[in-house]
């Protein structure tokens, strides 16, 4: 397992370097620059600005400057927010996005596994159809619809929860976590049901039952361990997706997370910010995929032995 770990980490380095290089040149290719605005700046001012950010230098020189910076962890200053470094902005948004991702994945796991396992155990009954239908709706309903709907019901009509914010008013973390977690709960429910159905028909479950174990013991101790491997494999990309894809929820609920920085940086042509966040998200995706692969390996007795 350690060899696999080292191999994967070594493989991650060229991946990240390639992501950084491609992104560097792609953002420069996009039409429009960071200082374009409705009120056009004079050529003299533009020249001054380009000089201030070293954008007048040859592209190759800028590339090597940038790459040597990121090796020591310096992502440069943001073009859009003078006086703030990209690293500082990532570190400001990351804890918030991370917290949101954790709550969402917890909600997703609890709801998803619970309904997935019940659906598998009570196959072809109302306990199967109902949660699976809800799961289908959960997959289909986009967060930009679910979020405002929940706000309308719980925030504006019932006045139970705040309509926006993060850590500013009591309970303001509930609706965004549910909104973001719901779609993932739906996936987990379907994956969990599938995995459980496959395992429940296997010989070792029959053996466990014949030994006289209670149904709870059979399900929790034996069936779930194997049945939920697809869910575990899904968790890595899911957490990475939650981190990078929380933009919509962050916008709907006015959450100061990383997703907003990422998307707004692209709109603003904030070159260093786009690069910094892209590299950072790539790193997170690589790491979470690796972790979920390792966890799945460890959970699966067959691959553990081999």
Contact flag: residue 222 with another protein (CB under 8 A): no
What does the per-residue mask of binding to another protein show for 102-121, with x meaning CB under 8 A? --------x---x-------
Ramachandran angles phi, psi of 71, nearest 5°: -65, -35
CA distance 70 to 298: 34
| Among residues 253, 271, 280, 288, the one that binds another protein under rule CB under 8 A | 253
Q: How many residues bind another protein (CB under 8 A)?
A: 62
Contact flag: residue 49 with another protein (CB under 8 A): yes
Is 207 or 225 the residue whose CB approaches another protein more closely? 225
| Among residues 1, 6, 25, 51, the one that binds another protein under rule CB under 8 A | 51
Contact flag: residue 29 with another protein (CB under 8 A): no
| Among residues 239, 257, 281, 292, the one that binds another protein under rule CB under 8 A | 257
Contact flag: residue 217 with another protein (CB under 8 A): no
C-beta separation of 80 from 263 below 8 A: no
| Among residues 143, 251, 272, 289, the one that binds another protein under rule CB under 8 A | 251
CB of 24 to another protein, least distance (A): 17
Chain mean position to CA 53:
31
CA distance 42 to 79: 18
Contact flag: residue 225 with another protein (CB under 8 A): no
Contact flag: residue 48 with another protein (CB under 8 A): yes
C-beta separation of 127 from 118 below 8 A: yes
Contact flag: residue 190 with another protein (CB under 8 A): no
- Of 243, 238, 246, 233, the closest CA to residue 281 belongs to 243
What does the per-residue mask of binding to another protein show for 128-167, with x meaning CB under 8 A? --------------------x--xx--xx--xxxxxxxx-
Contact flag: residue 212 with another protein (CB under 8 A): no
CB of 55 to another protein, least distance (A): 11
Contact flag: residue 95 with another protein (CB under 8 A): no
**Which residues contact another protein (rule: CB under 8 A)?**
30-33, 35-45, 48-49, 51-52, 77, 80-85, 89, 92-93, 110, 114, 148, 151-152, 155-156, 159-166, 168-171, 174, 251-257, 260-261, 264, 267-269
């Amino acid at each position: 397992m350690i060899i696999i770990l080292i191999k994967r980490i070594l493989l991650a380095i060229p991946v990240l370097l390639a992501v950084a290089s491609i992104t560097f040149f792609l953002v420069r290719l996009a039409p429009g620059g960071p200082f374009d605005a409705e009120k056009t700046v004079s050529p003299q001012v533009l020249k001054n600005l380009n000089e201030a950010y070293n954008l007048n230098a040859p592209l190759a020189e800028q590339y090597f400057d940038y790459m040597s910076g990121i090796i020591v962890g310096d992502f440069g200053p943001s073009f859009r927010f003078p006086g703030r470094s990209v690293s500082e902005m990532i570190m400001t948004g990351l804890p918030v996005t991370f917290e949101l991702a954790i709550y969402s994945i917890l909600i997703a796991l609890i709801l998803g596994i619970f309904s997935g396992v019940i659906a598998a155990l009570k196959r072809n009954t109302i306990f199967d159809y109902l949660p699976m239908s809800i799961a289908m709706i959960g997959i289909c309903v986009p967060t930009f619809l679910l979020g405002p709907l929940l706000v309308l019901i719980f925030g504006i009509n019932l006045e139970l929860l705040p309509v926006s914010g993060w850590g500013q008013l009591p309970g303001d973390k509930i609706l965004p976590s549910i909104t973001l977690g719901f779609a993932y709960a739906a996936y987990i429910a379907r994956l969990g049901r599938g995995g459980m159905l496959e395992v429940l028909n296997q010989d070792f479950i029959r053996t466990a039952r014949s030994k006289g174990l209670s149904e709870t013991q059979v399900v929790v101790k034996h069936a779930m361990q194997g049945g939920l491997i697809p869910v575990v494999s899904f968790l890595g990309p899911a957490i990475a997706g939650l981190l990078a894809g929380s933009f919509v929820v962050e916008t709907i609920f006015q959450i100061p997370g990383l997703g907003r920085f990422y998307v707004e940086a692209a709109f603003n042509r904030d070159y260093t910010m786009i690069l910094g966040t892209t590299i950072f998200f790539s790193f997170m995706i690589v790491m979470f995929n690796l972790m979920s692969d390792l966890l799945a390996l460890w959970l699966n007795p067959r691959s553990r032995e081999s």
